Amino acid sequence: MTTTTLFDQYYSALPLSKKHLEAGNKIIMPASAIDQLTSRSMKVVYPMLFRITSHATRQHSHCGVVEFTANEGFVLLPTWMMKNMKLQEGDLVNIRNARLPKGTYIKIQPHATKFINLSNHKSLLEIAFRDFACLTTGDTIEINHADHKYLIDVLETKPSRAISMFDTDCEVDFAQPLDYKEPEKKTSVLGKRERTTLGDEDRKSSPKQKDDSKRFPGEGRRLGGITVPGVNSFDQSMKKLKITEVATTKKVDGSKQGTTEFMPFSGMAKRVDSQPLVAVSAKDVEPHDQSNAHAKVKEEEHQGFKAFTGKSFRLM
C-alpha cells in the first residue's frame, strides 16, 4: 500500500453565512474531505493546516478547518479572507494540507490609531489570535471588538513566512498605524509669531515716541484774548532760564575739592504780558525776625478779647 501525505483538491469558494465563524481564519470543507484526510493512505499531521491558493490570481494564504459540513464541491471562507484574496463567489481555489512551524515572533501594523489607543488592545489581540490557526506574512486580518472592525497587516512572522498559532508563545511587535500623524510643533510656530509681533510693535512704537514732542504745536488763546505759549515756546523759554553756579573751593585734607552752590531766583523773569520783572537775589532778602513775631503773638494773648467795642445801632 502506498502512503501519501498530500491532500490536493479544487473547490468553489463561497462566503460564510455564520457570523460567529467570521472571526479567525478557519474554513468549512465538505464531508468528502474528512474521509480522504483520515484514510489509511493519508498521513495527516494534527492540527490540520492548509494552504489555499486562488486559481485565477495565484494569491495564497493559510488556514485551518472548523467543520466538514459544506456542500460537495464547495468550501466556505470568512468574508475578510475572501476580500484579502480578492475572491468572488464561485471562484475556484486549490487547497493543500501543510506543515507549519510554531511561531515565535510577529510584527503587525494596525490600519487605525484608534486600535492602539484602546486601553486593553494587547489583551484583545491575544484573545483574537486564539481564533487563528495560523498567520501568513502579507495577510490583512480582521479583528472585531464592540461593533468595530479593526484591520491589521501582518508585516513579518518568524521563524518562517507562515507560522502555526497552536500552543505557542509569540513575541508581538507593533509598527506605527497607517493613519498615524506626528503632532505639529505648535510651540515653535507660536514663538516665531510672538517674536515677529513684538518686533513689529517695537518698530511701530519708536516713531510714536519721537513724535511726542510735536504734539499740540503752536500757541493757544485764553478767553480774555491773551496768547498762551505752546509747548515748543515753553521748551524754548525753559532753555533760556539761567542757573547761576558759583564755584567754591574747600580744602579737605590738604586737597582742593570743587562744589557748586545753587542760587535761586537769580535770573530775569517775564510776566504773561511780556513786562519785565525785577530780579531779586536771595542775598537781598532781609532775614525774617522770628523772635519779634513770637513777641507780638504773646502780647495779643495778654490783652485778651474785648467784646462790643464797636458802634451800636438801634431799630426805629
**Grid cell of 153 as nine digits:** 497587516
Between CA 244 and CA 264 the distance in angstroms is 8
Q: Are residues 112 and 94 in the same domain?
A: no
- The last residue of one of the domains, among 78, 98, 118, is 98
Q: Rounded to the nearest 5°, which phi and psi values hold at 103?
A: -75, 145
20 domain residue, yes or no: yes
Return the pLDDT at 3: 44
Residues 74 and 58 in one domain: yes
End-of-domain residue from the set 98, 121, 153: 98
Q: 111 and 87 in one domain?
A: no
To the nearest whole percent, how much of the chain has pLDDT over 90? 41
Q: Average pLDDT for residues 140-166, to the nearest whole number?
A: 93
> Is the pLDDT confidence value at 291 over 70?
no
Q: By residue range, what is the domain housing residue 66? A: 8-98
Q: pTM to 2 decimals?
A: 0.57
Instruction: Decide if 42 is inside a domain.
Output: yes
Say whether both 122 and 84 belong to one domain: no
The per-residue pLDDT for 88 is 94
Specify the CATH number for the domain of residue 161. 3.10.330.10
Tell me what pLDDT residue 43 has: 77
The pLDDT score that the predictor gives to residue 138 is: 94
3-state secondary structure (DSSP) of residue 299: helix
> Within a domain: residue 77?
yes
Is 220 within the bounds of a domain? Answer: no
**CATH number where 64 lies:** 2.40.40.50
Q: Is the pLDDT of residue 40 over 80?
A: no
Higher pLDDT, 66 or 184: 66
The pLDDT value given to residue 31: 95
Q: Residues 19-23: what's their mean pLDDT? A: 85
Is 54 a member of any domain? yes
Residue 203: per-residue pLDDT = 55
Pairing of strands 49-54, 92-98: antiparallel
HEC letters along 110-160: ECCHHHHHCCCHHHHHHHHHHHCCEEECCCEEEEEECCEEEEEEEEEEECC
Residue 277 has pLDDT above 90, yes or no: no
Residue 106 forms beta bridges with which residues? Answer: 157, 172
Residue 245's pLDDT band (boundaries 50, 70, 90)?
A: very low
DSSP annotation of 48: P
If asked whether residues 117 and 52 sit together in one domain, one would say no
Taking the CA atoms of 120, 121, 126 and 130 in sequence, report the sign of the dihedral they define. Answer: positive
Give the domain-ending residue among 135, 154, 174.
174
Within-domain flag for 57: yes
Give dist(CA 82, CA 26) in Å, integer. 12
What pLDDT, on the 0 to 100 scale, is given for residue 181?
A: 84
Cell for 157? 512572522
Q: What's the pLDDT at 256?
A: 47
Does residue 279 carry a pLDDT above 60?
Answer: no
Tell me how many domains the chain contains.
2
> What is the pLDDT at residue 99?
92
Same domain for 110 and 79, yes or no, is no
Highest mean pLDDT of the ranges 64-78, 184-198, 200-214, 220-234: 64-78
d(CA 83, CA 66): 20
Whether 134 and 152 map to the same domain: the answer is yes
pLDDT at 105 over 70: yes
What average pLDDT does the chain have?
Answer: 75
Instruction: Give, in order, the Cα–Cα distances in Å from 66 to each of 23, 30, 69, 75, 315.
Output: 12, 11, 9, 12, 138
Minimum mean pLDDT range among 53-57, 148-152, 217-221, 256-260: 256-260
Q: Does residue 153 have a pLDDT over 60?
A: yes
Per-residue pLDDT band at 1 (split at 50, 70, 90): very low
Tens-place pLDDT, residues 83-104: 999 999 999 999 999 999 999 9
Q: Which of 34-43, 49-58, 120-129, 224-233 has the lowest mean pLDDT?
A: 224-233
pLDDT given at position 93: 97
User: Per the domain annotation, does 308 fall within a domain?
Assistant: no
The pLDDT assigned to 316 comes to: 54
Query: E strands, the chain, where?
Result: 8-15, 26-30, 49-54, 60-70, 74-77, 92-98, 105-110, 134-136, 140-145, 148-158, 162-164, 171-174, 220-221, 227-228, 244-252, 255-263
Q: In this structure, are 90 and 158 located in the same domain?
A: no
- Domain membership of residue 302 (yes or no) is no
